[in-house]
């Protein structure tokens, strides 16, 4: 009774592209009418085209599937062709359609279906797809060395890092965010499938519960330490901060990256069982905020300005020298901010009685050397929170600018 | 601005228990008003008390966190005390409240907070918590051997099983289902925390996209093979089938299990990359249904009766001898059915370029010896689908009946 929603959508729109970029809410409402999955009731379509890629300042959707891939060919033309193919596929899927035309099983029975099918009855679900290029893509395979952004460094090993090579690096990345995890998983799977013979999955990560809001229209979510996270995050509405701290321009040295950004990825295991044994006062001192309202210590409400100097009755500063908010604040980092867009995760258990839980940290900045790196150096060296976290995965990607009509992901690079 | 929703809810209800069991929709609507996470807009509370535990015939929620635990004490009283504590906690959390009173950070700063906090701003989200007792709980530690249900067998090793001991077994299980994954994760985490010193996590699994509907009010979801899954599932509305095939009675030999059920858990890895290379005709022959509508082969619509005898033009049966629907059908299994309530999963990638994806199979039946076991023996021996799947985890639990007001989980067992 509902298997044709993705097919019909495209049929109604004539060519599908008519829907792309409009941002209009399209009424599917299948499961909503039937009292089914509320997560599937979301009817929003996020425009694919634009000056910047979607999935950066787009209000953070609640579900993530992130994949890092390696390129298995040295043939530059094959890579370019795949990027063109992926762009068309992403335009379709973010509009709520199948990955390729005719994938809805009306076609030849003798061939594998064009679309794998698990999102066939589901709406667009605010799906965004964001692509990135890792440092290793700029080696000698494709002649891209001269086009590597200066800020796309090989990330240093920070104090206390315990990185798993199976959870780091990658020539390419695709970030899929959506209101429904099945829509995000479907998108990654079908892009990976289109890449057979050219790319293969290096590692992948699911996440939920967006650990930061990216718009003033969203309430601040809580991470798995139970604290509101990202209160001071750069928001979509703060155009000055985006201009200064997120988007690259030609002056950053690589004109093809103008309108793009740099993405730092860190898989941060949280030792939640240990954290949960810490008294409330201790938790709040480590963070530098109250757990209930999220107000900075010494203040009343979540969005009150952080005052790093306010003293308590004993003369000690209320926000401790090793508090997370102090060390991560732009006041102590020469004004540096980042745009965080991470997710919580639970990857089963660790085999010794604990949940394998944490924060999959995703942060966009303009120059990682001047923003993320000094921030993380301060945190990994001094943050009281380091007793409860461990960085187990790390990657870095150049996020090219958005795609114009008729263009393709990373066109300016090739 | 919104950190008090769980606190306020309980405050408004006086003692919390007033809300439990009403099933009334409670209007939190925090994020909904703010245009935030649509998954958080769900405002449904599922009653905790009843003849049967919630989370079996409850219309399947879209997110799962399942945990298997081992008991680390031999002290029966400690176990009983924990079950009482867990029951109170489950009543509170399924009503949208914190795990214990005063957990919302209004209490002592010198003690660890009672509630871990990450669900503080989120509504009940249709949370259900369902407990089960594994075969190993009936060993000599607690004097329960004589109370082991006859149907709660040690599951046999089926042909082609490739079981990982780190993903199987368990003295206890807790199934958390919710509209929001963060609410399910919060519930498991806080129950695990209450169990420190008595239980510890043996393994755990997240899932999404409910792979079977459990009510005629729901559309049939798709699994990661892209097919509608569970069209012929036992539904909440089919009271005859529930009576005959799901709920145990005193006549099954253990009066304490009357109103309970048996839960079979199988983690089924799907080789989706191989599946995706199979032509459409082949996929449909393996399943025995069309991929688009889900109609049985030879029929027109999803809910048309399966005809195992209808022949095609070449005289061959349209539903092949090794088709999944034939082998799993009650017609070929002496009328045996099961109530499936599984979830899709993607646990990252497998290290050799593929997604670690599959189906976390959860099925409730009255006598596993007569229902699941013969079904799986037929499937594992003959099902054409076995080329594409591998059972990597296995567990079996006795699901005690529902809790009466003032009672506790598994009260009849102790």
- Structure confidence by residue, pLDDT tens digits, B106-135: 678 999 999 999 999 999 999 999 999 999
Instruction: Find the farthest-apart pair of alpha carbons in chain B and give their distance in angstroms, rounded.
Output: 79
**Residues 206-245 (A) with a CB less than 8 A from some CB of B:** 206, 208-210, 213, 217-219, 221-228
SS3 B301: coil
ipTM score of complex: 0.90
Distance, CA of A401 to CA of A13 (rounded, Å) = 27
Q: How many helices (H) and strands (E) does chain A have?
A: 9, 9
> B102 in contact with A at a CB cutoff of 8 Å?
no
Q: Is the pLDDT of residue B55 over 80?
A: yes
For residue A404 the two structure tokens come to 């114009």
Confidence of residue A41 (pLDDT cuts 50, 70, 90): very low
Distance, CA of B270 to CA of B324 (rounded, Å) = 15
Report the mean per-residue pLDDT for chain A. Answer: 89
- Distance between B179 CA and the closest CA of chain A, angstroms: 7
Residue among B67, B209, B349 whose CB faces A203 most closely: B349
Residue among B181, B351, B355 whose CB faces A208 most closely: B181
- Distance between A208 CA and the closest CA of chain B, angstroms: 7
For residue B309 the two structure tokens come to 């005898």
Q: Is the pLDDT of residue A7 over 70?
A: no
Which chain A residue shows the shortest CA-CA distance from B198? A353
- Distances from the Cα of B402 to the Cαs of B47, B51, B184, B397, in angstroms? 11, 5, 20, 15
Contact at CB, A105 and B39, closer than 8 angstroms: no
Distance, CA of B108 to CA of B118 (rounded, Å) = 19
Residue among B121, B201, B346 whose CB faces A185 most closely: B346
Gyration radius of chain A's alpha carbons? 22
Residue among A120, A200, A222 whose CB faces B353 most closely: A200
SS3 A391: strand
**Other beta carbons less than 10 A from residue A390's beta carbon:** 16
Chain A hits for B285, Cβ within 8 Å: none
| Positions of E strands within B105-150 | 128-133
Contact at CB, A59 and B225, closer than 8 angstroms: no
Contact at CB, A355 and B189, closer than 8 angstroms: yes
Among the listed residues A347, A332, A250, the one whose alpha carbon sits nearest the alpha carbon of residue A288: A332
Q: Is the pLDDT of residue B239 over 60?
A: yes
Give residues with Cβ within 8 angstroms of B70, minimum separation 6.
B136, B170, B171, B172, B199, B200, B202
Gyration radius of chain B's alpha carbons? 22
- Residue count of chain A, please give it: 414
> B273 in contact with A at a CB cutoff of 8 Å?
yes
Chain B hits for A280, Cβ within 8 Å: 105, 107-113
Residue among B106, B112, B348 whose CB faces A277 most closely: B112
- What's residue A351's pLDDT? 87
Contact at CB, B38 and A42, closer than 8 angstroms: yes
SS3 B370: coil
Most A CBs within 10 Å, among B31, B33, B34, B36, to test the A interface: B36
For residue A313 the two structure tokens come to 């009755």
Residues β-bridged to residue B177? B64, B128
SS3 A72: coil
Contact at CB, B292 and A4, closer than 8 angstroms: yes
For residue A83 the two structure tokens come to 């990027």
Q: Is the pLDDT of residue A25 over 90?
A: no
Q: Exposed (0-12), middle (13-18) or buried (19+): which is A93, by Cβ within 10 Å?
A: buried
According to DSSP, residue B100 is labeled S
- What's residue B103's pLDDT? 66
Contact at CB, A226 and B201, closer than 8 angstroms: no
SS3 B409: coil
Q: What is the DSSP code string of A219-257?
A: PPPB-TTSSB--TT---TT-HHHHHHHT---GGGS-GGG
- Distance between A180 CA and the closest CA of chain B, angstroms: 8
- What's residue B62's pLDDT? 95
Residues β-bridged to residue A332? none
Residue with the bigger pLDDT between B40 and A241: it is A241
The pLDDT of B311-329, averaged and rounded, is 91
> B185 in contact with A at a CB cutoff of 8 Å?
yes
Distance, CA of A89 to CA of B312 (rounded, Å) = 37
- What's residue A102's pLDDT? 77
Distance, CA of B60 to CA of B341 (rounded, Å) = 7
Report strand pairing: B172-178 vs B128-133.
antiparallel
Give residues with Cβ within 8 angstroms of B158, minimum separation 6.
B376, B377, B380, B391
Region of B105 please: left (phi>0), alpha (psi -120 to 50) or beta.
Answer: left
**Residues 312-371 (A) with a CB less than 8 A from some CB of B:** 344, 346-349, 351, 353-355, 357
The pLDDT of B36-56, averaged and rounded, is 76
Portion of chain A with pLDDT greater than 90, in percent: 83
**What is the H or E stretch that residue B324 is in?**
helix B324-327
- Chain centre to alpha carbon of residue A371: 17
Query: What does residue B2 show for φ and ψ, rounded to 5 degrees?
Result: -140, 10
Distance, CA of A344 to CA of A211 (rounded, Å) = 6
- What's residue B105's pLDDT? 81
Among the listed residues B310, B309, B308, B300, the one whose alpha carbon sits nearest the alpha carbon of residue B329: B308
Distance, CA of A189 to CA of A184 (rounded, Å) = 9
Query: pLDDT digit string (tens) for B184-219?
Result: 999 999 999 999 999 999 999 999 997 778 999 999
Chain A to chain B Cβ contacts (< 8 Å):
277
Q: Is the pLDDT of residue A28 over 60?
A: no
Confidence of residue B312 (pLDDT cuts 50, 70, 90): confident
Among the listed residues B185, B178, B62, B58, the one whose alpha carbon sits nearest the alpha carbon of residue B123: B178
Confidence of residue B14 (pLDDT cuts 50, 70, 90): very low
Cβ-count burial A239-254 (b if 16+ within 10 Å, e if not) = eebbeebbbbeeebeb
- Chain centre to alpha carbon of residue A107: 35
Q: What is the DSSP code string of A342-360?
A: -EEEEEEE-SSSSEEEEEE
According to DSSP, residue B50 is labeled S
Report strand pairing: B355-365 vs B389-399.
unpaired
Chain A hits for B166, Cβ within 8 Å: 351
Query: pLDDT digit string (tens) for A255-299?
Result: 999 999 999 999 999 999 999 999 999 999 999 999 999 999 999
Distance, CA of B205 to CA of B345 (rounded, Å) = 8
Chain A hits for B104, Cβ within 8 Å: 292
- What's residue A5's pLDDT? 45
Contact at CB, A217 and B36, closer than 8 angstroms: yes
- Residue count of chain B, please give it: 414
- What's residue B43's pLDDT? 58
Query: pLDDT digit string (tens) for B79-90?
Result: 999 999 999 999
Chain A hits for B110, Cβ within 8 Å: 279-281
Distance, CA of B90 to CA of B99 (rounded, Å) = 7
Distance, CA of B218 to CA of B19 (rounded, Å) = 26
According to DSSP, residue B102 is labeled T
Contact at CB, B273 and A193, closer than 8 angstroms: yes
Q: Is the pLDDT of residue A315 over 90?
A: no
Most A CBs within 10 Å, among B4, B32, B113, B267, to test the A interface: B113
Contact at CB, A206 and B206, closer than 8 angstroms: yes
**Least confidently predicted of A8-17, A49-58, B45-54:** A8-17
Q: Is the pLDDT of residue A14 over 80?
A: no
Distance, CA of B175 to CA of A119 (rounded, Å) = 25
Distance, CA of A308 to CA of A318 (rounded, Å) = 8
């Amino acid at each position: 009774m509902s298997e044709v929603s993705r097919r019909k959508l495209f049929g109604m729109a004539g060519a599908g592209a008519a829907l792309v970029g409009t941002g209009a809410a399209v009424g599917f409402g299948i499961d909503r009418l039937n009292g089914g999955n509320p997560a599937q009731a979301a009817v929003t379509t996020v425009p694919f085209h634009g000056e910047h890629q979607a999935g950066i300042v787009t209000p953070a959707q609640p579900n993530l599937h992130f994949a890092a891939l390696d390129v298995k060919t040295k043939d530059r033309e094959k890579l370019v062709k795949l990027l063109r193919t992926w762009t068309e596929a992403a335009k379709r899927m973010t509009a709520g359609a199948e990955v390729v035309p005719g994938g809805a099983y009306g076609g030849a029975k003798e061939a594998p279906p064009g679309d794998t099918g698990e999102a066939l009855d589901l709406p667009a679900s605010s799906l965004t797809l964001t692509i990135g290029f890792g440092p290793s893509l700029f080696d000698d395979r494709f002649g891209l060395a001269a086009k590597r952004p200066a800020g796309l460094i090989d990330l240093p090993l920070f104090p206390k890092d315990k990185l798993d090579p199976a959870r780091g690096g990658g020539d390419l990345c695709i970030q899929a965010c959506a209101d429904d995890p099945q829509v995000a998983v479907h998108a990654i799977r079908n892009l990976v499938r289109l890449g057979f013979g050219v790319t293969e999955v290096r590692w992948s990560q699911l996440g939920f519960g967006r650990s930061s809001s990216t718009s003033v229209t969203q309430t601040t979510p809580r991470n798995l330490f139970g604290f509101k996270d990202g209160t001071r995050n750069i928001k979509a509405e703060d155009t000055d901060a985006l201009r200064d701290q997120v988007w690259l321009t030609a002056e950053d040295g690589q004109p093809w990256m103008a309108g793009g950004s740099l993405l730092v990825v860190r898989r941060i295991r949280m030792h939640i069982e240990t954290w949960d044994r810490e008294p409330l006062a201790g938790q709040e001192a480590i963070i530098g905020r109250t757990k209930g309202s999220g107000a900075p210590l010494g203040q009343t409400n979540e969005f009150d300005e952080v005052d790093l100097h306010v003293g308590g009755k004993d003369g000690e500063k209320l926000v401790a020298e090793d508090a997370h908010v102090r060390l991560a604040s732009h006041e102590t980092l020469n004004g540096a901010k980042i745009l965080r867009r991470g997710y919580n995760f639970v990857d089963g258990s660790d085999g010794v009685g604990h949940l394998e839980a944490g924060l999959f940290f995703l942060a966009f900045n303009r120059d990682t050397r001047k923003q993320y790196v000094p921030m993380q150096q301060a945190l990994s060296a001094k943050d009281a929170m380091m007793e409860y976290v461990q960085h187990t995965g790390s990657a870095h990607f150049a996020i090219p600018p958005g795609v114009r009509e008729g263009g393709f992901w990373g066109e300016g690079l090739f």
